[in-house]
Amino acid sequence: MEIVSKVRSFGGTQLVCRHDSQSTGTPMRFGVFLPPAAETGKVPVLWFLSGLTCTEANFTEKAGAQRLAAELGLMLVVPDTSPRGEGVANDEAYDLGQGAGFYLDATEAPWAPHYKMESWIMRELPGLIARECPADMARQGVTGHSMGGHGALTLALRHPGVFRSVSAFAPICAPTQCPWGEKAFTAYLVDDRATWRAHDACALIADGKRLPPLLVDQGTADPFLESQLKPELLKAACAAAGIPLTLRLQEGYDHSYYFIATFMADHLRHHAQALRA
């Protein structure tokens, strides 16, 4: 693990790291915030999965999470959103290719050789974090924004028992029923909606998968609310399955990091409470 940058923040340390991933066959970057408590022992880990076009820098520089994470003793791990670089398939559009990995393992050309985001985040990167950082891997939570909210929900559903806490900001709740998801799944996966269900939070819940009590914030002025995000479908799926869901519609907020930063403290406390020993 190569440390690209290292700065002090609220008594802790913000790292940007890089390693050569076996999953993607490329160098991959990620951010790690180590709270002051990490200097004396292992601490719980909160993963943040970012949205379309983002890198690890969007969260680490804009979300304002370090102050409270330092107080709560939470390690923050922020993966990049896709493989990148020369020889990695890409698309001119912002919602496919580099910056748009959708947190799944692609099976179709030309994406399959490198777009193994689920394998990287769920298998390879946790092993690296466990070896290199004072992380208590028995206490992990996951959150994310937009495409990353989709990732937080689906990875928690697909890997039961890994995450003790889950939340999301403006997640893509039903990607099989929105243009972003349909485009990505058609490219990355077999063009078969039955296969797509395995990467759709609402479908996974309907098919019997379950989550811990869930916190979701959604801005009412989000331009993607009706066409892409569809939180009403997640609300219905959780209600039918008996999954405790706190869905907060935040009046006047949009899809930006101003929205995320405003409600970040509530999400950090949600996870800290669930991850206490």
Catalytic residue among 255, 267, 270, 271: 255
Catalytic residue among 80, 200, 217, 222: 222
Find out whether 211 and 153 touch, Cβ atoms under 8 Å: yes
Residue 49 structure tokens: 């999965």
**255 flagged as catalytic:** yes
Q: Smallest Cα–Cα separation from 88: which of 105, 106, 111, 107?
A: 111
Query: CA 11 → CA 15, 33, 124, 140, distances in Å?
Result: 13, 11, 29, 22
Taking the C-alpha atoms of residue 218 and residue 213, their distance in angstroms, rounded to an integer, is 17
**Measured in whole angstroms, how far is the alpha carbon of residue 275 from the centre of its chain?**
17
Catalytic residue among 146, 165, 217, 267: 146
**271 flagged as catalytic:** no
Q: Smallest Cα–Cα separation from 138: which of 130, 149, 146, 147?
A: 130
178: DSSP letter:
S
Bridge-based pairing state of the strands 245-250 and 214-219: parallel
Taking the C-alpha atoms of residue 208 and residue 61, their distance in angstroms, rounded to an integer, is 37
Complete edge-to-edge strand list for the sheet that includes strand 12-20: 2-9, 12-20, 27-34, 75-79, 43-49, 135-144, 165-169, 214-219, 245-250
**119 flagged as catalytic:** no
Residues 6+ apart with CB under 8 A from 258: none
Taking the C-alpha atoms of residue 161 and residue 108, their distance in angstroms, rounded to an integer, is 29
Residue 50 structure tokens: 């970012």
Q: Smallest Cα–Cα separation from 101: which of 78, 84, 77?
A: 84
Residues that are catalytic: 146, 222, 255
